[in-house]
């Protein structure tokens, strides 16, 4: 049994696209399940030069997801370099090898000629494409062109008839008619390879056993099968992964035209947007693993280590899947609730600091259990509990203090009545406050929501927050009473 080696081979164009992350995730799960290796390779031959910034952004996103790689540009490995623009001599060598062995040829056609051929084909209502002019040049014509120093590309000699079978691990054999295929360019006139040549040379030299990639590449796969054959190399197993579609099931998720959820909110497409929006990497990867694959026993919440144990290709759905924001949000809440409190506190720090707040670690640890059941995203902590970290207590607005079916005077009277009761509590725990305030509602003839809501606004300055009594417990008795007193003053001046 050969060692399983999979790779993730992004072009570094900025952050990581969520659909690419899904391909990476399936490649990673497959490698981990088989105790194999997962390789990161950068396919930057379109950009002329390796861009360290783009690479750093990509690595930051990929590291955040927790999908660690065994070989890659930053950590090296036995088959490096892992950046295509640093491997150009290899592609040139193998491109020329194909020419020498009559599997490829030099094409000297100019852009203008190619355009003209295309136009003529379109006029004749034929599929556009190259007419294989240079495939049939005589040795003299070639020698003449070379002597004249004409620039050329190297094109593959596709068999002109017959079929090419692409064996795909999740789709079975996919059959292509060779007469519909092109003589694709492998090496460009500037010496850079196209994707087709680079991917074959690299996957072979890096000993990739399973080519796990998006099914957008399926149409190129017959060329790749033919290239393996021409080189006489063993073909890896192809696994063409389904795409992640927009929520309406139409079209691939795209950064240029970001989809919207049913409330009209933009759905982020790049991993960095999810990082910034307070999603957990555990939730995002769990969500992606659930679209197109299933754990096998109806279980929807699981870690990637658990998924790796179970992962197999037989439960991968070859059909594309639509994105569902509700599922992701739900999973995010589930993973937030599964975090140990000290870990949750650690992760809440960044969103609070990003909101300009100075975080006190001890207080954050107190707040973590109170918010844990309520957060959909980590960023929600700012709205729920940011007030704990304001250097100055943000005073409530009178209209927020005044409760439903009440006015300033009755609200003031209600809050004033709570003060001595709260002050008299020896035990200022949330449970003790709740019992006392519950009893008070009966005495005052007000509802729970009126009293608890009024107190909430009084101590937090806002209508939505952590629960009232837990909040007061964390603030402590003196600070809570001080804030209620401030609320009374506000209502006094408002009523005056």
Name the site residues for ligand GLU (rule: CB under 6 A): 9-11, 43, 199, 213, 217
**Size of the chain in residues:** 496
CB 275, min distance to ligand GLU, A: 20
CB 219, min distance to ligand GLU, A: 13
Distance CA 140, CA 283 (A): 63
- Which of residues 43 and 473 has its CB atom nearest to ligand GLU in the complex? 43
- Which of residues 134 and 186 has its CB atom nearest to ligand GLU in the complex? 186
DSSP 8-state class, residue 7: E
Question: Could you give the strand order of the β-sheet that contains 185-187, starting from the edge strand earlier in sequence?
Answer: 104-107, 153-156, 185-187
- Which of residues 212 and 291 has its CB atom nearest to ligand GLU in the complex? 212
Which candidate in 255, 363, 395, 477 is catalytic? 255
- Which of residues 202 and 473 has its CB atom nearest to ligand GLU in the complex? 202
Distance CA 116, CA 451 (A): 81
- Which of residues 203 and 400 has its CB atom nearest to ligand GLU in the complex? 203
Residue number of the CB closest to ligand GLU reads 213
DSSP 8-state class, residue 151: -
Distance CA 374, CA 381 (A): 9
CB 217, min distance to ligand GLU, A: 6
- Which of residues 40 and 401 has its CB atom nearest to ligand GLU in the complex? 40
CB 96, min distance to ligand GLU, A: 23
Instruction: Return the sign of the alpha-carbon dihedral for residues 433, 434, 436, 440.
Output: positive
- Which of residues 47 and 96 has its CB atom nearest to ligand GLU in the complex? 47
Q: What are phi and psi of 35, to 5 degrees?
A: 65, 30
Render 108-142 in DSSP notation, one character per residue: ---HHHHHHHHHHHHHTT-------GGGG--HHHH
First to last CA, the chain: 85
- Structure tokens given for 285: 């990867």
Is 157 one of the annotated active-site residues of the chain? no
> Tokens 């001080």 sit at which residue?
482
DSSP bridge pairs for 193? 187
Half-sphere exposure of 203 (CA within 13 A, CB side): 28
Contact 32, 38 (CB under 8 A): yes
CB 198, min distance to ligand GLU, A: 9
DSSP bridge pairs for 164? 176
Strand intervals (E) in 102-243: 104-107, 153-156, 163-168, 172-177, 185-187, 210-214, 237-241
- Structure tokens given for 235: 């073909």
DSSP bridge pairs for 252? 245
- Which of residues 199 and 457 has its CB atom nearest to ligand GLU in the complex? 199
CA dihedral 473, 479, 484, 489 (to 10 degrees): -170
Distance CA 87, CA 71 (A): 16
Strand intervals (E) in 33-139: 37-40, 104-107
- Which of residues 30 and 108 has its CB atom nearest to ligand GLU in the complex? 30
- Which residues, other chains included, contact 141 with Cβ-Cβ below 8 Å and sequence gap of 6+? none
Q: What residues act catalytically?
A: 255
């Amino acid at each position: 049994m050969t060692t399983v080696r999979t790779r993730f081979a992004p072009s570094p164009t900025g952050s990581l696209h969520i659909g690419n992350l899904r391909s990476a995730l399936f490649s990673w799960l497959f490698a981990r399940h088989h105790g194999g290796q997962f390789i990161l390779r950068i396919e930057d031959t379109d950009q002329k030069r390796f861009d360290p910034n783009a690479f750093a952004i990509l690595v930051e996103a990929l590291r955040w997801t927790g999908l660690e790689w065994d070989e890659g540009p930053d950590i090296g490995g036995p088959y490096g370099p892992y950046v295509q623009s640093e491997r150009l001599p290899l592609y040139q060598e193998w491109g020329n090898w194909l020419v020498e062995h009559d599997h490829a040829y030099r094409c000297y056609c100019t852009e203008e000629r190619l355009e003209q051929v295309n136009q003529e084909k379109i006029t004749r209502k034929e599929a556009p494409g190259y007419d294989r002019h240079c495939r049939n040049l005589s040795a003299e014509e070639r020698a003449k062109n070379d002597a004249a120093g004409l620039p050329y590309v190297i094109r593959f000699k596709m068999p002109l008839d017959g079929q090419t079978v692409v064996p795909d691990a999740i789709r079975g054999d996919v059959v292509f008619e060779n007469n519909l295929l092109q003589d694709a360019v492998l090496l460009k006139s500037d010496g850079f390879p196209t994707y087709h040549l680079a991917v074959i040379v690299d996957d072979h030299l890096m000993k990739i056993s399973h080519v796990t990639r998006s099914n957008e590449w399926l149409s190129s796969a017959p060329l790749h099968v033919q290239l393996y054959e021409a080189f006489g190399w063993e073909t890896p197993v192809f696994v063409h992964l389904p795409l992640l579609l927009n929520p309406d099931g139409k079209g691939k998720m795209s950064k240029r035209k970001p989809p919207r959820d049913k409330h009209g909110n933009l759905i982020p497409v790049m991993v960095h947007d999810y990082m910034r929006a307070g999603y957990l990497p555990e939730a995002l990867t769990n969500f992606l693993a659930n679209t197109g694959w299933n754990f096998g026993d109806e279980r929807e919440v699981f870690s990637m280590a658990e998924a790796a144990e179970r992962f197999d290709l037989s439960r991968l759905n070859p059909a594309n899947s639509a994105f569902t924001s509700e599922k992701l949000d739900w999973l995010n809440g589930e993973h937030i609730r599964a975090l140990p409190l000290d870990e949750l506190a650690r992760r809440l720090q960044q969103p609070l600091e990003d909101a300009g707040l100075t975080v006190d670690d001890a207080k954050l640890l107190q707040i973590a259990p109170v918010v844990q059941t309520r957060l959909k995203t980590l960023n929600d902590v700012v709205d729920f509990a940011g007030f704990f970290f304001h250097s100055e207590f943000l005073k409530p607005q009178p209209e927020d203090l005044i409760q439903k079916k009440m006015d300033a005077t009755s609200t003031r009277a209600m809050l004033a009545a709570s003060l001595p009761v709260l002050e008299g509590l020896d035990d200022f725990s949330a449970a003790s406050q709740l019992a006392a305030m519950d009893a008070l509602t009966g005495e005052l003839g007000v509802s729970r929501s009126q009293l608890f809501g009024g107190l909430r606004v009084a101590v937090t300055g806002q209508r939505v927050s952590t629960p009232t009594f837990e909040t007061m417990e964390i603030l402590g008795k003196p600070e809570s009473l001080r804030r209620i007193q401030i609320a009374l003053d506000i209502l006094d001046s408002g009523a005056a």
